[in-house]
Structures are given as C-alpha cells and as structure tokens.
C-alpha cells in the first residue's frame, strides 16, 4: 500500500472505521460498516462476555488484522501499515490499558512508562521527563518503586500513566475495572477519562459491567453493528 492511500486529509479526527470485517478461522465474525469516535470523545463499548469487545480493540490497536476495511487514526489506516511501521505508529498514537495492567515485573514504575515511550520513538531524556510528569500527575508517590511493591490501585495508576504519557490521540481500555470493587471501579473510570481528556484523546472503554454506563454519555453495544453485507 502506498502512502497516498493510507493518508487522508486531517478532516477526520479520532478513530474512523469503515467496511471492517474480521473473522476467526471457523468462528466468531465482526462486521462494522461505519463507526467514528471523535477526538476528545469518550465511548463505552458494552456487551456481554464473548460479544467481540476485545476483538474490536485489538483491531483498532493493529494487534489483529481484518480481512477487509479500514481503521483510520488521525487519517492514517493502521491496517495499511505493517511491521515496524505499524508498531511505531501504535506507540506514538495509541495508549492501551489492560484489565491485568500488563506491567513489567522487576522494573520500576518509571522504567515501565519509559519503555513505552522508547517504543514510541522518544529520546531517553524525553522518555524520562514525560514519564516523570505522567507519574506525578497520577499521584505515584515513588516512581522508583519496583512494580510488584505497589498496591493494586497504584499499579493501575501506573498503567494509566503509561497509556497517556506519550499524549496519544487514541486511548483504549479493555475491561479496566473487571478486577476492582464498585467504588474503585468508578474511581478508575474517572481517572482514565480525566487522563484521556488531558491528552485530548478519543477514548474507548470496554466493559460488560452495566454499572459503568452512568459514567458515559455515549454507549455502543458491539451487537448493534450491522453486517456489511445483506443478511439472508
Ligand atoms: P469480549 O471481549 O466481548 O468478551 P472477545 O472479543 O474476546 O469478546 O471474543 C469474541 C468471540 O471470539 C468469542 O466468541 C470468543 O470465543 C472468540 N475468540 C476470541 N479469541 C479467539 C481466538 N484466538 N480464536 C478463535 N476465537 C476466538
Ligand atoms: Mg474481552
């Protein structure tokens, strides 16, 4: 794919999905004719377990590949990028928060955030200053603590700091509250929304938990995406 076909005018911001089709070998399929999340917009992607929420986030992050369609982020079709180009694009533009945080044990909070910024192509001095700033905004008292010494709440803050330290234009959070009690779940959602707001990012949070619905003005059910082709 040449660069002309993977770029378009800056008119479309945030995340723009069109004509997307994905299928696991002999199994689950996901089709999305059109879906747009604007810069600064926050969306709850709801639906029961197994409905395809993680699948969609993995496609938006370019972790999985679709069989058809485009996912434009800041106008660039991430599915049209390959290998190191796609990894660098993801590092620069997409912040991800996972249910189990996916922080690297044996490294400090600061090192965890700096590593993400290194993958995004920042210089060592930029990695350090951005990581320190993100961790301090998220009230991490000791950025030099090994990850495993921090409480679960502090680890989640480090995961949020890692996701937003590079000021991505897209933040994706997959079931970020699944292991938290209701009070902490709402606090975590508020933290993620605030971090995304500060970065000016388009935010998609997935959850099967109906109690999170009141935290969002836009809620999309995965099951409401119509098939791209006429159904029989
Ligand atoms: P959710 O995140 O909403 O719980 P997923 O996106 O994880 O749903 O999964 C959607 C569907 O795809 C489920 O039916 C699941 O069993 C299936 N699925 C998930 N991962 C794979 C895989 N690696 N291979 C085949 N099927 C999968
Ligand atoms: Mg999931």
Side-chain half-sphere CA neighbours of 67 within 13 A: 9
Q: Identify the pLDDT of residue 229.
A: 45
Specify the fold of 38-65+82-229: Rossmann fold (3.40.50)
Q: Which ligand 1 atom is at minimum distance from the Cα of 58? A: 6
Which ligand is closest to the CA of 22, given by its number? 1
Q: Identify the pLDDT of residue 12.
A: 67
CA of 144 to the centre of ligand 1 (A): 37
Cα 51 from Cα 206, distance rounded (Å): 11
Determine whether the shortest distance from the Cβ of 52 to ligand 1 is under 6 A: yes
pTM score of the predicted model: 0.91
CA of 55 to the centre of ligand 2 (A): 7
So where are the chain's domains? 38-65+82-229
Q: Identify the pLDDT of residue 224.
A: 86
Residue ranges, the chain, pLDDT below 70: 1-12, 226-232
Q: Identify the pLDDT of residue 226.
A: 64
34: tokens are 């059109």
Contact 79, 70 (CB under 8 A): yes
DSSP state of 229: S
Which ligand is closest to the CA of 48, given by its number? 1
Cα 201 from Cα 214, distance rounded (Å): 20
Determine whether the shortest distance from the Cβ of 99 to ligand 1 is under 6 A: no
Burial (Cβ within 10 Å: 0-12, 13-18, ≥19) of residue 12: middle
Q: Identify the pLDDT of residue 10.
A: 45
26: left (phi over 0), alpha (psi -120 to 50) or beta: left
Contact 211, 182 (CB under 8 A): yes
Q: Identify the pLDDT of residue 230.
A: 40
17: tokens are 């999905």
User: What pLDDT digit, counting tens, does each position of 81-136 carry?
Assistant: 999 999 999 999 999 999 889 999 999 999 999 999 998 889 999 999 999 999 99
Nearest-CA residue for atom 10 of ligand 1: 52
Alpha helices in the chain (DSSP H): 3-6, 53-60, 83-93, 109-119, 124-137, 152-164, 182-199
Instruction: Give the orientation angle of helix 109-119 with respect to helix 152-164, to 10 degrees.
Output: 20
Which ligand is closest to the CA of 26, given by its number? 1
């Amino acid at each position: 794919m040449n660069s002309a076909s993977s770029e378009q005018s800056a008119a479309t911001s945030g995340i723009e999905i069109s004509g997307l089709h994905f299928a696991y070998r002999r199994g689950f399929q996901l089709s999305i004719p059109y879906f747009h999340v604007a810069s600064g917009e926050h969306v709850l992607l709801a639906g029961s377990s197994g409905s395809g929420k993680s699948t969609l986030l993995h496609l938006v992050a370019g972790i999985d590949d679709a069989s058809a369609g485009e996912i434009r982020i800041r106008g660039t079709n991430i599915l049209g990028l390959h290998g190191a180009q796609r990894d660098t694009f993801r590092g620069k533009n997409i912040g991800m928060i996972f249910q189990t945080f996916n922080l690297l044990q044996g490294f400090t909070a600061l090192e965890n955030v700096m590593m993400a910024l290194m993958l995004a192509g920042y210089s060592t001095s930029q990695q350090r200053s951005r990581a320190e700033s993100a961790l301090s905004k998220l009230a991490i008292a000791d950025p030099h603590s090994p990850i495993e010494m921090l409480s679960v709440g502090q680890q989640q803050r480090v995961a949020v700091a890692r996701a937003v330290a590079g000021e991505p234009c897209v933040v994706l959070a997959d079931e970020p509250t699944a292991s938290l009690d209701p009070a902490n779940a709402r606090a975590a959602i508020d933290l993620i929304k605030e971090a995304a707001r500060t970065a000016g990012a388009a935010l998609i949070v997935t959850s099967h938990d109906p109690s999170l619905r009141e935290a969002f003005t836009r809620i999309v059910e995965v099951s409401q995406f119509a098939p791209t082709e006429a159904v029989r």
